[in-house]
Amino acid sequence: MSETARIPAFRRGVKLRFDTVRDTWSVLAPERMFVPDEHALAVLKLVDGVRDLDGIVDELAAIYDAPREVIAPDVAALLQDLADKGVLAW
Amino acid sequence: MVNAEPPLSLLLELTHKCPLQCPYCSNPLALERGGGELDTAAWLEVIDQAAALGVLQIHFSGGEPMARPDLPQLVKRAAERGLYSNLITSAVLLNAATLAALAGAGLDHVQISFQDSEAAGADRIGNYAGGHAKKLAAANLVRAAGLALTLNFVVHRHNIARVPDMIAMGEAFGAGRIEIANVQYYGWGLLNRAALLPTRAALDACTAAVYAARERLRGQMVIDYVVPDYYAAEPKACMGGWARRFLNISPSGRALPCHAAETLPGFDWPSVREHTLADIWNGSAAFARFRGTAWMPEPCKSCDRREIDWGGCRCQAFALTGDASRTDPACELSPDHAIMAEAAREAERAAPEFVYRRIGANVGAAQS
Ligand code: SF4
Ligand code: SF4
């Protein structure tokens, strides 16, 4: 499978949820929680276990009106980082 | 008074009942009997208030929380309020039916404690024959149900050599996360310290094994690792700082900034039977007592780590120096730091018998 067709998904037991008391998004996981930065949040909101890397890059390119080639490596690196942290399976 | 950010995490000690008798149990020496526990309605009210206050994660613990028949009801309420729920269990009461009820209620994560990687050592520590086999069966059920699973191993001188086997067990179960947690020496653990504290050499080997496994399993399995304070140069940021992120409710409804805080003298712990969680968190003298940095003595007061570790653990400071407001002796800058090295020498001697955790154990005799 090519790199761009890989599909990221939340690991079992990991959730993204809006925290109404603090008015921010939070990632909740076993004995962990953190507030994702703006870039991570934009990517995490598009992770649904169906969209592949290509699909995520397409969406972000449209949202930010930026060229795909510029965004793609950053998104891949971000996904890898979130996978290393145990947030995503990727 | 220090302006309090809302808490992130709430631990409910639903009961002190437990079929096991681990000699390092984090419950207080004076265990609560069943009759004093909060009823279902009171726990539901606590859950509602916690969510409104800003809590994001809820831990159902004990004792053995599965000894409470209303556990699925409480988990369901937590899920309805958007709380991330974690069950901290010995798993000896877990079977297909009890697990199905919890999964159906919306439980997010199960943490099963293991006393060792092999049955003989594990059953001796828990003083419960057949316990290890039940836990293995329970862990398989949790995986089959598709729930997130953490295996928690509590480490001490009798099992520390088997840490590599514990990590292998986590891999074999496909656990997303394991904990290799050295015993924390409060309460029962402190009472049994001479029987449990590993030597420095044993700890160093354990640390090397954990670091190597972390590298190898990056992206696959998270390994959380806790060392004993006795060999540390810096203290832990106990609970992320007193009453900064976390609160704990005892079986009878006393609110505490950490599970060991009842060991501290001179406190009037507020009860959820009489006060709201918001009043307790924002307005009680007990929660304000060691919050922030204003209470600190030297060397903490002028130390640039004071908002990193918050001066360490108040319960440890009290247990080892008799004064809860001193710098945690685990810190090498503490004037009491020599106490730690003195205790570590116990680890070189033969281990005494365990004082098992049970209601009415002869704690006084063992302490003297
Ligand atoms: S540490 Fe052992 S005795 Fe204490 S609650 Fe957990 S399983 Fe029970
Ligand atoms: S002196 Fe106090 S604040 Fe500084 S490192 Fe030690 S415990 Fe932490």
Q: For the domain bounded by A12-85, which CATH number is listed?
A: 1.10.10.1150
- Where b means 16+ CB within 10 Å and e means fewer, A1-33 reads eeeeeebbebbbbbebeebeeeeebbbbbbbbb
Distance CA B209, CA B211 (A): 6
- pLDDT tens-digit profile, chain B (368 residues): 456 899 999 999 999 999 999 999 988 888 888 889 999 999 999 999 999 999 999 999 999 999 999 999 999 999 999 999 999 999 999 999 999 999 999 999 999 999 999 999 999 999 999 999 999 999 999 999 999 999 999 999 999 999 999 999 999 998 889 999 999 988 899 999 999 999 999 999 999 999 999 999 988 899 999 999 999 888 989 899 999 999 999 999 999 999 889 889 999 999 999 999 999 999 999 999 999 999 999 999 999 999 999 999 999 999 999 999 999 999 999 999 999 988 888 888 989 999 999 877 756 544 43
Ligand number with the minimum distance to the CA of B333: 2
Beta carbon of B309 within 6 Å of any ligand 2 atom: yes
Domain extents in chain A:
12-85
Using the Cβ of A77 and the Cβ atoms of chain B, whether some distance falls under 8 Å is answered with no
User: Do the chains contact at A28 and B219, CB–CB below 8 Å?
Assistant: no
Distance B297 CA to ligand 1 centre (A): 35
Q: What does the alpha-carbon distance between residue B85 and residue B110 come to, in Å, rounded to a whole number?
A: 9
| CB proximity A30 to B under 8 Å | yes
State which H helix or E strand residue B91 sits in.
none
Per-residue confidence (pLDDT) for residue B176, from 0 to 100: 86
* CA B247/CA B11 separation, integer angstroms: 6
* Among A40, A12, A10, CA closest to A25: A40
Whether A2 and chain B come into contact, CB under 8 Å, resolves to: no
- Helical pair A53-64 and A68-84, crossing angle rounded to 10 deg: 120
Give the C-alpha separation, B82 to B86, whole Å.
13
Whether A6 has a pLDDT exceeding 60, the answer reads yes
Ligand 1 atom with the smallest distance to the CA of B113 is 7
Q: State the ipTM, two decimals.
A: 0.88
The predicted model scores a pTM of 0.93
> What's the CA-to-centroid distance between B162 and ligand 1, angstroms?
20
| Whole-number average pLDDT of chain A | 92
- Please indicate whether residue B312, judged by its CB atom, sits closer than 6 Å to ligand 2: yes
Query: Do A31 and B224 lie within an 8 Å CB cutoff?
Result: yes
Interface with B, mutate which of A18, A28, A32, A33 (most B CBs under 10 A)? A28
Cis peptide before B63 (omega within 30 of 0): yes
The partner residue sitting opposite B57, judged by closest CB among A12, A28, A86, is: A28
Question: Chain A partners of B7 at a C-beta cutoff of 8 Å?
Answer: none
What chain A residue is nearest to B59 in terms of C-alpha separation? A31
- Exposure b/e, B301-318, CB count within 10 A at least 16 = b: eebebbeebbbbbbbbbb
Chain A and chain B share a number of CB contacts under 8 A equal to 56
